[in-house]
């Protein structure tokens, strides 16, 4: 099947708030009246049916020690759904149930790379029964995906992705493909993944905020006890080399703004202070009224497609040259918190 | 001219230290003995002749107020060379000479986006004689580049870039192009730039750490008094829409780790604390013994080409699947400080 999707500029005339105004005063002025919405306005206008509430059992809640002013620092991680990375995620469920992370710490903060947490002593015994996950699990066979999804990927392997069409500015013979690390990248089941033209497997992508599993040298794949999140430009060279298990959907700033470490690879030195982790729990282990609630915009929805296109072709009044493309990590999946207010810019 | 560059895997067998070891103890162990160098080892081994010392007049030194522990926070910005963005950079030289930024502050910290600084009051008079720079200056005509550079770009417009060849994994008919935002991207004169197949102009790229000029709505292009730097995934949609004038080459952590702002667009609210800027000076205005000295690895050097290739195809023992490509913002130009020790990981 070969698709011919023509991007109608008229159909997606967009406008919204300025991206880099000179001053806070301007930033807080009313947005200009516009005929078509900005990417954020598209998200705000998405119908309730386009949002997917995340199950409490897929939310991992990490309480860091309060900051210097005594303010709480809560980080919420959304775990990837089956069939992605379930060996490690199963281990993480056991570690959380055992309260294993309580009393561990954030030990590494490397600028423009990762924040990493776990047991700095290397001596804390792990719970019994953790799986040893093989490297083959870094990739997910398309056959293991729901039929709807695998069919979509099969189509896209032939036709390239929707985003490729959005990004296409050149000739049919040489379109502007947007991914340097795979034949194509796309969103599926709410997550950024990549694949190759053989369409045999997909793998998750190391975008900002994604959470992965620290490991030793191959063939070690890590247990899930040592975790990191991306705090800089997407380190895509880690794709297919380390397990990705989720993403930070709330409280990212409490990790990304931590003081950088000055030991090798950004580990803290003896003179520097790891940030204590008070507790890590799955939300379904918390009292009902203490559970965070989040929803993400379905990446199968029309609203998401419109949002992604608008991210790739900004036509807000601030912009004078739409990019004509976007890489997948510059299209973060929108998430909102209960009560269902609009997500922050 | 059509080039046929074949990537010899044997020629670039690389090895080095692990990227995401489980623990600090491992990270601080000796790297494994290896036959070929890691990207960092390539940089360390580059001959002195491959390094370019940056003129003091192209270094802007920003002293933030000391941190809560009283430690100094110095940020050093390298200004772009002619012919790039010289209208704004000329203004910045005047602003620095007038000590205009002294007493201003960092007013905006938006997670995964930018840190922005300047005059929060909007009332501080600007020096006389600042240029009003037209939007056309966001792009630089190739005719204005040194002949060596424009010739190289002309070649690359036909042949695509070296990086495209490095990244080529597929057929001749459909190589894996690595840039979603332009027909190609490349390094020239030490900077990441993009261009299109018409090869008429190039423009700088919004990678992590790049410094740009805040502005109001078009046709305003900003003066250079209000500046920002990228602290997250490359916001390439800003390319050709805002002037880029330099990059942070030292002290980036003092900006990237600042507390996030919680007003619109990450501006600080009244309850939050801007970070005071004590002074901004060009290094040539400082006493000779107080001038910072930095050098960058020439992007025309063989060492840089080898480094870039190694970034795109990691073969350190830690990696099991080389990416086969890289986007330009995942290949930061190496910088080192005097005394000329090796750059930090």
What pLDDT score does A342 carry?
56
pLDDT in tens, A197-209: 777 899 999 999 9
Q: pTM score, two decimals?
A: 0.86
Residues of A in contact with B218 (CB under 8 A): 317-318, 320
Alpha helices (H) in chain A, listed in sequence order = 24-27, 39-45, 86-97, 147-159, 162-167, 252-256, 302-312
The answer to whether B242 and B215 are in contact (CB under 8 A) is yes
| Confidence tier at A178 by pLDDT (50, 70, 90) | low
Q: Do B317 and A28 touch (CB under 8 A)?
A: no
The answer to whether B43 and B334 are in contact (CB under 8 A) is yes
- The DSSP code for B145 is S
Interface mutation vs chain A, best among B233, B273, B332, most A CBs within 10 Å: B233
| pLDDT surpassing 70 at residue B26 | no
Half-sphere exposure of A4 (CA within 13 A, CB side): 2
Half-sphere exposure of A195 (CA within 13 A, CB side): 25
Out of B122, B311, B326, closest to residue A23 by CB: B122
Shortest distance between the Cα of B52 and any Cα of chain A, in A, equals 24
- The DSSP code for B101 is T
Out of A17, A232, A323, closest to residue B181 by CB: A323
Q: Do B26 and A216 touch (CB under 8 A)?
A: yes
d(CA B300, CA B305): 8
Residue in B with minimal Cα distance to A139: B321
d(CA B11, CA B13): 6
pLDDT above 90: percentage of residues in chain B? 65
DSSP string for residues in A260-289 = PP-SGGGB--TTS-PEEEEEEEEGGGS-GG
| pLDDT surpassing 60 at residue A48 | yes
Residue in B with minimal Cα distance to A232: B232
Closest CA to A12 of A318, A312, A326, A339: A312
- Between the CA atoms of A214, A216, A222 and A227, what dihedral angle is there, to the nearest 10 degrees? -10
ipTM of the complex: 0.86
| pLDDT surpassing 80 at residue A21 | no
Looking at residues A26-53, what average pLDDT do you find? Answer: 75
The two tokens of residue B283 are 């290094």
| pLDDT surpassing 70 at residue A20 | no
The two tokens of residue B285 are 């205005």
pLDDT in tens, A68-106: 999 999 999 999 999 999 999 999 999 999 999 999 999
Out of A265, A326, A332, closest to residue B180 by CB: A326
d(CA A282, CA A61): 6
Residue carrying the six token digits 């059992």: A57
Q: What strands, in cross-sheet order, belong to the sheet with B51-53? A: B51-53, B294-297, B335-337
| pLDDT surpassing 60 at residue A2 | no
What pLDDT score does A126 carry?
98
Give the 3-state secondary structure percentages of chain B, helix then strand then coil, rounded to 5.
25, 20, 55
What pLDDT score does B178 carry?
63
| pLDDT surpassing 80 at residue B78 | yes
Residues of B in contact with A109 (CB under 8 A): 257
| pLDDT surpassing 60 at residue B166 | no
Q: Do A318 and B218 touch (CB under 8 A)?
A: yes
Q: What is the mean pLDDT of chain A?
A: 83
pLDDT in tens, B175-227: 334 688 887 788 889 999 998 877 789 999 999 999 999 999 999 999 999 99
CB pairs under 8 A between A and B: 260
What's the first-to-final CA gap in chain A, in angstroms?
38
The answer to whether B235 and B113 are in contact (CB under 8 A) is yes
What pLDDT score does A3 carry?
29
Q: Do A197 and B170 touch (CB under 8 A)?
A: yes
Q: Do A22 and B222 touch (CB under 8 A)?
A: yes
d(CA A285, CA A175): 49
Looking at residues B13-20, what average pLDDT do you find? Answer: 28
pLDDT in tens, B261-293: 999 999 999 999 999 999 999 999 999 999 999
Shortest distance between the Cα of B72 and any Cα of chain A, in A, equals 14
User: Does B283 sit behind a cis peptide bond, omega within 30 degrees of 0 on the bond before it?
Assistant: no
d(CA A195, CA A149): 13
d(CA A169, CA B11): 36
| pLDDT surpassing 90 at residue B160 | no
- The DSSP code for A93 is H
The answer to whether A310 and A318 are in contact (CB under 8 A) is no
Residues of B in contact with A24 (CB under 8 A): 107-108, 120, 263-264, 267-268
Interface mutation vs chain B, best among A236, A237, A267, most B CBs within 10 Å: A237
- The DSSP code for B325 is -
Q: Do A122 and B236 touch (CB under 8 A)?
A: no
Q: Do B177 and A181 touch (CB under 8 A)?
A: no
The two tokens of residue A14 are 């967009």
Using the Cα atoms of residue A10, residue A11, residue A16 and residue A21 in order, give the sign of their dihedral: negative
Q: Do B122 and A218 touch (CB under 8 A)?
A: no
Lowest mean pLDDT among B100-104, B116-120, B139-143: B139-143
- The DSSP code for B329 is G
Q: Do B120 and A26 touch (CB under 8 A)?
A: no
d(CA A217, CA A103): 26
Closest CA to A266 of A114, A121, A67: A114
Residues in chain B, overall count: 345
d(CA A211, CA A54): 17
Looking at residues B45-55, what average pLDDT do you find? Answer: 96
What pLDDT score does A170 carry?
35
Residues of A in contact with B39 (CB under 8 A): none
Residues of A in contact with B117 (CB under 8 A): none
What's the first-to-final CA gap in chain B, in angstroms?
38
CB atoms within 10 A of CB B154: 13
pLDDT in tens, A249-299: 999 999 999 999 999 999 999 999 999 999 999 999 999 999 999 999 999
Residue B71: strand, helix, or coil: coil
| A280, β-bridge pairs | A62
Q: Do B323 and A179 touch (CB under 8 A)?
A: no
d(CA B54, CA B334): 13
Question: Between these two residues, B344 and A39, which has the higher pLDDT value?
Answer: A39
Residue carrying the six token digits 């991992």: A60
Residue in A with minimal Cα distance to B121: A23
d(CA A31, CA A184): 35
d(CA A64, CA B285): 44
| Confidence tier at A162 by pLDDT (50, 70, 90) | very low
d(CA B164, CA B184): 8
- B163 burial (CB, 10 Å; 0-12 / 13-18 / 19+) is buried
What pLDDT score does B35 carry?
54
Q: Do B327 and A236 touch (CB under 8 A)?
A: yes
């Amino acid at each position: 099947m070969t698709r011919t999707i023509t991007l109608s500029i008229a159909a997606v005339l967009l406008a919204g708030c300025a991206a880099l105004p000179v001053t806070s005063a301007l930033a807080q002025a009313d947005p200009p009246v516009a005929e078509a919405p900005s990417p954020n306005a598209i998200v705000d206008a998405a119908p309730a049916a386009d949002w997917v509430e995340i199950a409490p059992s897929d939310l991992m809640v990490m309480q860091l020690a309060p900051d210097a002013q005594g303010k709480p620092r809560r980080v919420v991680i959304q775990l990837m759904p089956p069939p992605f990375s379930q060996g490690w995620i199963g281990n993480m469920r056991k570690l959380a149930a055992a309260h294993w992370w309580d009393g561990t710490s954030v030990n590494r903060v490397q600028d423009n790379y990762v924040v990493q947490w776990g047991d700095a002593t290397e001596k804390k015994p792990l719970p019994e029964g953790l799986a040893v996950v093989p490297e083959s699990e870094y990739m997910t066979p398309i056959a293991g995906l729901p039929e709807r999804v695998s069919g979509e990927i099969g189509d896209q392997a032939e036709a390239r992705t929707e985003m490729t069409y959005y990004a296409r500015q050149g000739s049919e013979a040489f379109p502007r493909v947007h991914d340097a690390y795979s034949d194509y990248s796309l969103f599926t089941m709410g997550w950024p993944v990549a694949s190759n033209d053989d369409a045999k497997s997909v793998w998750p992508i190391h975008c900002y905020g994604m959470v992965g599993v620290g490991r030793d040298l191959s063939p070690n794949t890590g247990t899930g006890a040592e975790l990191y999140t991306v705090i800089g430009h997407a380190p895509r060279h880690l794709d297919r080399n380390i397990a990705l298990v989720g993403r930070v959907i709330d409280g990212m700033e409490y990790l990304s703004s931590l003081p950088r470490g000055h030991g090798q690879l950004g580990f803290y030195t003896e003179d520097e202070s790891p940030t204590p982790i008070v507790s890590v729990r799955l939300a379904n282990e918390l009292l009902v009224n203490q559970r965070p609630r989040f929803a993400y915009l379905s990446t199968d929805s029309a609203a998401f497609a419109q949002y992604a296109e608008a991210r790739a072709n900004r036509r807000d009044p601030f912009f004078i040259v739409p990019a004509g493309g976007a890489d997948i990590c510059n299209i973060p999946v929108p998430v909102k918190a209960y009560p269902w207010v609009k997500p922050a810019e």
